[in-house]
Structure 1
Amino acid sequence: MKPKHRLLLLCGLILCLVLICSGCSQKGDSSLHGAEGKKNGTRPNAPHVYVPEASGTALIGSSPLTLDISHIDQGYLMALYDGSAAKAVVQITGPDGITYKYFISAQDQHVTLPLTAGSGSYTVAGYENIVDNQYASLYKESIEVSLSDELLPFLYPNQYISFTRDTQAVVKASEVVKGASSDLDAVGEVYHFVIEHVTYDDKKAETVPSGYLPDVDETLATGKGICFDYAALTTAMLRSQNIPTRLEIGYSGKIYHAWISVYIEDIGWIDNLIEFTGDGWTRMDPTFASSNDNSENILKYIGDGSNYTMQYLH
């Protein structure tokens, strides 16, 4: 799905609004890279990357658009397009009734598509581009999904949050959390790294194309990005540390925006205003926090659920 992916000026505009309102797998390990002079914590910091597989034991469709549903109990399916059209679309509707559209091309290898609505009945459909915005229907089928763990869709990489054990963002996450003694510490270390390392890219916000997908290593290397980039980088870093993280897209106020929610069993606070209760998802907004110096006012804004309307999970 690429719902309204034109995140143009969205985060920049809402930052102004916020300031006004506030008063102004399988798991794979890779080598560790410790931060110089940073004391080691008691929490293991080795990357813990879940690796999606297209094993071919259960398929929907055939060339030019094949869906591998061999591991839907892990919270994902894999799509492969090998046709000659400009692109194909996989449409997924979960038990929550929300429809996601994922665009893929023949240049892609197997693309990981998440099943974020939990266990239940999903409808999957395949379409091939004919010309302009016209598509030919290839198939439409129902599948029953029974997740082995409801958090798994938010641990694997996917089309929106793409990373492997060799991704530099994964290496950096291992370094950043080296001093952590708990998951709460690790979340705080990654969150503060991102909001201090990345600055909002106004020029990119004005020119980002429709269908844009983040590159977490590019964001890491340039230290710049839009809200989608902030959210994807933070999500990739936390998932690679085995911390379930949702990339959420929707509205903050009237502006289209991207942020994250994190699930850990630890109970505690980050910056005295971000509360983790140990039994639910906690919203974090690295874009707003970064652009507003992680101020108390912005953290209160982020903590108020009435300021956010989520539409999609990834």
Structure 2
Amino acid sequence: MKSRNIRYIILYCIIPILIVSQFSPLIKLEISNIQNSINLSNSGTSNYTIPQNVTYQVETNFSIQQLTGSGNYYLKFAKLNNKTPDSSLMRFSPPYQKSFPYDRFILGNIPSQTDLDHQDRFNNTYDSFNISLGSIINPEFIYGQKYNVTLNEIAFDTIQDSEIGDYNYSDIMFDLYCNNSVENYNISDPDLILASNTIVQGASNVVEKARKIIQWIRDNIEYEASEDEEKGASWAYENKKGDCSEFASLMVTLLRIQNIPARKVSGYLISNNPRLRPTVGQSWTFRFSKSETGNFLGHAWVEYYIPNVGWISCDPTFYQSDSIYFNYIDFLRFNLNVGQWFYCPGSGPDPGPSDDYKSEFPNPWFYGLSSGDIDYEYQFKVTVLEANLKPQVWIYFLAIGLPIIIILAIVSYIIVRRRKKSRELFYY
């Protein structure tokens, strides 16, 4: 009888699991279809879904104070651009980031020059100021921005050859993101040319080439955190290591060698944990100051372009531990800049416009000449306003499996009790 009871218990445990496994895909599919209704665009983007998204309130605040003496300063702040199919600035972009700025303020010293909402050649947007501060008169300048930002999880479906359009090689994107060999993206490097051509052998289309390249980087480049300036694709290939900057630069360069427009995206992560599920009301505050290095999670990833599909995101750094990050991006990163070599006055070894560029924009950028001491602080506060997330798998089990187990346990108990009574009556 013990063996029979054990068989009953095993059977009652397996049945709910089988039922859950049958129902879970149906529930997930229904949620996915609801989210897909967001994806309506005829702006050169297609084949993506939005399984989940999170809306955040973002508050930025920068302050600089002249403690002694006086100084003249140049300040430049990157803005959180709208990256959506209908954006006038970011063409052919799926809805990675829907940004709504609703407040911008200046306190303290009035800038001598102000340039709001100006763009660089990649259409990144900035606010810039020239200010003069004195320790007694006009000692402080404060600048802040507020946004509501929706970050969408974007996943691309299987892209068929018939869905890939023809490249327009006269489009300006090829000058910006493909044709020219620049520092850190040396498409003329013979070693990188040979590597790129070898890696993509056998690939039938653009997507397969990109897949082979990101897989090669995962298998051959070791992640090594660094606080140094970006070293570029050739260095990463030669030394077989790097951080997110080198991972992104190498993937971009190997793609460009194949005549595929590709660009680096830089911004801030909320967390290094890709499994994080933000909840309404949850908040994070990132800051740095003159006396503190800060806790910002700066990061770089990649977008490559396919006609009729748009700019497709990949994260070669995260791909090392999770292969989902090919043709996929999460809702945990704020997009600040795309492209390379950004104008940062005063950053070059010799003062002058030709030298004043940095490979990645160090937001915010400020530079000046001071005859005394200063103090400064930058803060980036993020608060969750809305989280449209799919239920986790264990919730399906609790919602469907647990009641079934309880019912079957009760039925089993009743059956065992009745059999016990019938045996008692028989022997009586």
Q: TM-score range by the shorter chain?
A: 0.3 to 0.5
TM-score by length of 2: 0.33
Question: Which has the larger Rg?
Answer: 2
Bigger relative contact order (CA 8 A; separation at least 6):
2
User: If the length of structure 1 is used for normalisation, what is the TM-score?
Assistant: 0.45
